[in-house]
Amino acid sequence: MTRFAFSIHARCGQARTGTIAMRRGEIRTPAFMPVGTAATVKAMRSHEVRAAGADIILGNTYHLMLRPTAERIARLGGLHRFMGWNRPILTDSGGYQVMSLSALTRSSEDGVTFASHLDGSRHLMSPERSMEIQRLLGSDIVMAFDELVALPAPREAVDAAMQRSMRWAARSRAAFDAGGDHAAGAALFGIQQGGLDERLRAESATALRAIGFDGYAIGGLAVGEGQTAMFGVLDYACDQLPDTAPRYLMGVGKPDDIVGAVCRGVDMFDCVLPTRSGRNGQGFTHDGPLNLRNASHAEDLRPLDGDCLCPVCHGPEAVSRAYLHHLIKAGEMLGAMLLTQHNIGFYQQLMAGLRTAIAAGRLGDFAAGFLARYNARVAR
């Protein structure tokens, strides 16, 4: 049984394509992980997510610990069985939710005490508790517990959060390793912090390498700094992390973000954008995002994206922009379902195109062509 093995098959510039082998299956990289916050990729069934091309999904530690609780999921056989997904699952540590709910939290060296957004009940999230929750869920890739700050922020605040995150990373490592059978079959990723500061990022990477992890996430980005600043960090952050381990850019992002990050050496991504946008009437296409609420689509018989191979755009059950516009305007849940299915399929086709281009040594041409077309028109 393979616990975790990362193989790089081809490189093109800084980018690489390969596979992560785990006991529940292989993950082709670069990979995009649809987000299943509450044990569901919203508006989709598990078999549809797999059919779209996803090898792995992400579950949310914070939300699942509150409802239905990690302990209940464990009693019911674990997260995979609970939601009917038999392939790898990565669970985040809860650190991002702690930051986003900062008005309800109090941080200390022990961890973060927070009030539930559901009922106000008080909880302590620590590195040890985060590892326990992820073990109860039965996740395949476990994320170390970290502290991050929204950008922009004073350097002193970014430094303090990074230093604490590295102390928590060591505690996460120890708690994960004490996890018995789960630790023997799962992997643990550390999270680099340091904001937009190259020296802090280097210090964080050195600390993580000394502890030792199966993979390394680039954290603390996509929190308000903008694409230019994010790419500036990726220009050096990837090289600070081990070349032989996967690099995971957390919470990213838009299709053009992903293409730029892959060109800089990132292997894994997650983001709520394709599902959230689908629920709000937006579909991603090769010609940029489309707002299906707009009246211009009311009598448009074209598919959402003529170059997309998802069932919404292609095949016997394909539908028109006019039909999608009608569903969204009428408030029919099918509209959100179809747009989400398309968006997840579009993202997975983008990742497949990136993998093929890297393997063929033509990533530069692929990226330039995709970005020129995608950015040619503004969102409408």
**Does the structure show a pLDDT above 90 at 118?**
no
The predicted pLDDT at position 32 comes to 98
The predicted pLDDT at position 95 comes to 75
Write the single-letter amino acid at 333.
M
Average pLDDT over residues 106-127: 88
**Does the structure show a pLDDT above 80 at 289?**
yes
Nearest to 222 by CA among 266, 257, 248: 257
- Of the residues 92, 146, 159, 214, only one is catalytic, namely 92
177 tagged catalytic: no
Provide the greatest CA pair distance for the chain. 60
Cα–Cα distance between 57 and 59 in angstroms, integer?
7
For the chain, which domains are there?
A: 30-270 (3.20.20.105), 278-374 (no CATH)
**Does the structure show a pLDDT above 60 at 151?**
yes
Polymer length in residues for the chain: 380
Cα–Cα distance between 56 and 87 in angstroms, integer?
6
270 tagged catalytic: yes
- Of the residues 140, 214, 267, 270, only one is catalytic, namely 270
The predicted pLDDT at position 380 comes to 45
Which run of H or of E encompasses 164? Answer: helix 155-177
Average pLDDT over residues 69-82: 98
Mean pLDDT over each residue of the chain, to the nearest integer: 95
Tens digit of pLDDT for each residue in 16-38? 999 999 999 999 999 999 999 99
Cα–Cα distance between 52 and 292 in angstroms, integer?
21
**Does the structure show a pLDDT above 80 at 96?**
no
Lowest mean pLDDT across 20-29, 122-131, 310-319:
122-131
Lowest mean pLDDT across 29-38, 95-104, 223-232:
95-104
Average pLDDT over residues 76-105: 86
Tens digit of pLDDT for each residue in 245-260? 999 999 999 999 999 9
91-95-100 Cα angle (round to 5): 120
The predicted pLDDT at position 379 comes to 43
Counting beta carbons within 10 angstroms of the beta carbon of residue 91, is it exposed (0 to 12), middle (13 to 18) or buried (19 or more)?
buried
Helices assigned H by DSSP within 216-332: 227-240, 255-263, 273-279, 321-330
pTM of the predicted model as reported, rounded to 2 decimal places: 0.96
Q: What percent of the chain has pLDDT over 90?
A: 89
Q: Is 15 helix (H, G, I), strand (E, B) or coil?
A: strand
